[in-house]
Chain A
Amino acid sequence: MEPYDHNPIVEMRDIEKHFGPVIALNGVSFDVRPGECHCLLGDNGAGKSTFIKTMAGVHKQTRGEIFFEGRPMSFDSPRDAMEAGIATVYQDLAMIPLMSVTRNFWMGREPIKRVGPFKFMDFKTANDVTMEEMRKMGINLRSPDQAVGTLSGGERQTVAIARAVHFGAKVLILDEPTSALGVRQTANVLSTIDKVRKTGIGIVFITHNVRHAMAVGDRFTVLNRGKTLGTAQRGQITPEELQDLMAGGQEMVALEGSLGGTV
């Protein structure tokens, strides 16, 4: 089953976002379909963060339309977007290192157990589900009480992804999940992305690393100076072409020549 057969879960048309006199986004169109990994590439300052924050309900677009499962949609808060099924895993803000894995996993949506008139957090269920979901992602926790601070960067991203999946995300936005990770951990996160994609969730993978994008991406959209430079399907574009698009073409070619083609 090719992912392109499906209708988009989220479709963003000609999104513009102005911050006072600054035009951060100047007409960006983007969509994500069930079971695909759509990579959003762009150099620093290209508008990637602004764009995904618009999708996640943090910012409201100045102009343009957002369709969610075919219907026009307008999110007033991240909570709204989350309720609809758009989950975002932010690079640094995903987890609270001082708190246990379970407490982080359920933060904001704790399972409740009633004892008479009192409502307690159901730690038994919470711990069991957390362990199970983490095991599905290929991580065996020492204990659900373990503080997130004791996990590696890749494992933290995985907890955040597992959390989003468990709470029924239809679209998962990953904001540079691999940018601060080592080789092995990056591989782990990329394989997690692959697992999640196979469950039918649409993934928006933001990165500026072409090799990471090529490893898991089904489609690639390049942002430059607040505009989309186009979307390509897997197999239609080479890593070199992507790299050039991201960096803005000509100057990069010259630079790359002087660096011996290693960038």
Chain B
Amino acid sequence: MSSTSAVVDERIKETSKLRKALIRPELGAIVGVIAVFAFFIVFAGDSGMFNAQGVLNWSTVSAQFVIIAVGACMLMIAGEFDLSVGSMIGFAGMSIAIISVTLQWPVWIAILLTFALCIAVGALNGFIVVRTGLPSFIVTLAFLFILRGFTIFFPQLIERRTIIGGISEKAAGDWLAPVFGGKVGGGFFNWLAEMDMIAVFERGTRAGEPIVNGIPMLIIWALGLMIVAHVVLTRTQFGNWVYAAGGDAQAARYVGVPVNRVKIQMFMFTAFCACVFATCQVMEFGSAGADRGLLKEFEAIIAVVIGGALLTGGYGSVIGAALGALIFGVVQQGLFFAGVESSLFRVFLGVILLLAVILNTYIRRIITGER
């Protein structure tokens, strides 16, 4: 041992390994996940919630939440909010439907154009926020209404209705559509079925085929976005800038961090995530509706906060946000499996939100020395 480690402040107590492992931003979400799973294993353990279909069911719903929570998490750490996420989901879905069904353009062009459009709107959100210095809360609240308004207006103007279907037919044979609406691992699930490890259809045209015949791309996107965002945030220079931009924008500027650029890029990333969500949803349903994505922005923000992020920025964890999203998905679907009235979903969520945030605040104070 070198002489440096020999000098130890006598007032610092040796902290145990367990305590060190527990004191992390995600602790609230981890405890929440354990509590939620324990609850449903007890109350819905024999309802089919934990067989292949059941797992796929709540995983898919959770994955939807993860996709938007990852975006919201990065943006919140950078010190901003995006309340237009829900409207952006409706807007993106409608954009794909109008371009592919009404204009009869190929689906891949519809998807690419929609991504470009959404990311541009995200950039505009960010640009207005950093240029005017207005709170992002207000700017994106304006876009919540603007985007939703367009989402209802255009299909009514063009098609005289607010739901546009027929996308599945258009998407058949398209090269890009399966990236969002497809499934992977079909062979593996067939093999599982042959081994009698998962359920198969008993009769009908698909008799003998496994009921769960692949993992939806939605889940792959959720995992991919989560891993990439986590690595970028914790392991790269850019990640450090994201924390710095949200922690104290002025201090970050003084040492040369391009705070405005970082914030605008995070708005664009949030828009990208909303667009991934919308595209997967449209490909799955085969239609776009003007009311899609309602209240999603708040669900994303709640997942992020359960995950340990600080509402004012500079602190948080993508893994925590993903766990928060998992809590959401499991509770929403689990109450259905447990046969409980689904309106209790909100009660349950409210309680978890409160408990997780109280625990998170306590943990954060230990870590950061806030008083």
Q: Report which A residues bind B (CB closer than 8 A).
A: 78-79, 82, 88, 90, 93-99, 103, 106-110, 112, 119-121, 123, 131, 135, 140, 142, 147, 149-151
Contact = CB atoms under 8 A, between A and B. Distances in A.
Contacts of B9: 140, 142
24 contacts: A78-B256, A88-B254, A90-B251, A96-B243, A96-B247, A97-B247, A97-B368, A99-B314, A103-B243, A107-B244, A107-B252, A108-B244, A108-B252, A109-B256, A110-B237, A110-B240, A120-B236, A121-B235, A123-B235, A135-B4, A140-B8, A140-B9, A149-B369, A150-B367
A99 B240 CA distance: 9
B250 interface: yes
A95 B255 CA distance: 10
A90 B314 contact: no
A108 B262 CA distance: 12
Contacts of B99: none
A90 B254 contact: yes
A90 B250 CA distance: 11
A184 B37 CA distance: 52
Contacts of A99: 243-244, 247, 314
Contacts of A95: 251
Interface string B240-277: 11011001101111111100000000000000000000
Contact of B257 (A97, A107, A149): A107
Contact of A151 (B236, B315, B369, B370): B369
A108 B236 contact: no
B195 interface: no
B244 A96 contact: yes
Interface of B: 4, 7-9, 12, 235-237, 239-241, 243-244, 247-248, 250-257, 310, 314-315, 367-370
Contact of A149 (B7, B12, B236, B368): B368
B315 A98 contact: yes
A107 B241 CA distance: 7
A157 to B, nearest CB: 13
Most buried by B among A93, A94, A106: A93
B237 A97 contact: no
Contacts of A147: 367-369
A78 B247 contact: no
A119 B236 contact: yes
A93 B257 CA distance: 14
A98 B248 CA distance: 9
Nearest to A94: B251
B369 A97 contact: yes
B255 A107 contact: yes
Contacts of B367: 147, 150
B235 A108 contact: no
A110 B368 CA distance: 21
A79 B256 contact: yes
B243 A108 contact: no
A94 B251 CA distance: 6
Contacts of B8: 140
A135 B9 CA distance: 13
A180 to B, nearest CB: 15
Q: Across chains A and B, which 8 residue pairs bring their CB atoms closest together, nearest first?
A: A150-B369, A149-B369, A96-B247, A108-B255, A110-B237, A108-B256, A149-B368, A147-B368
Given A99-B247, A109-B256, 6 more contacts: A96-B248, A98-B247, A99-B314, A119-B237, A121-B237, A121-B240
A120 B369 contact: no
Contacts of B314: 96, 98-99
A78 B259 CA distance: 14
A79 B253 CA distance: 9
Contact of A106 (B240, B247, B251, B315): B240
A96 B368 CA distance: 10
Contacts of B370: 97, 149
Contacts of B7: 140
Contacts of A123: 235
Nearest to B366: A150
Contacts of A142: 9, 12
A98 B236 contact: no
B250 A93 contact: yes
Contact of A109 (B12, B255, B369): B255
B256 A82 contact: yes
A150 B370 CA distance: 8
A78 B254 CA distance: 7
Nearest to A147: B368
B159 to A, nearest CB: 45
Contacts of B236: 119-121
Contacts of A121: 235-237, 239-240
B250 to A, nearest CB: 6
Contacts of A97: 247, 368-370
B243 A98 contact: yes
Nearest to B6: A140
B237 A112 contact: yes
Contacts of B240: 103, 106-107, 110, 121
A109 B235 CA distance: 14
A112 to B, nearest CB: 6
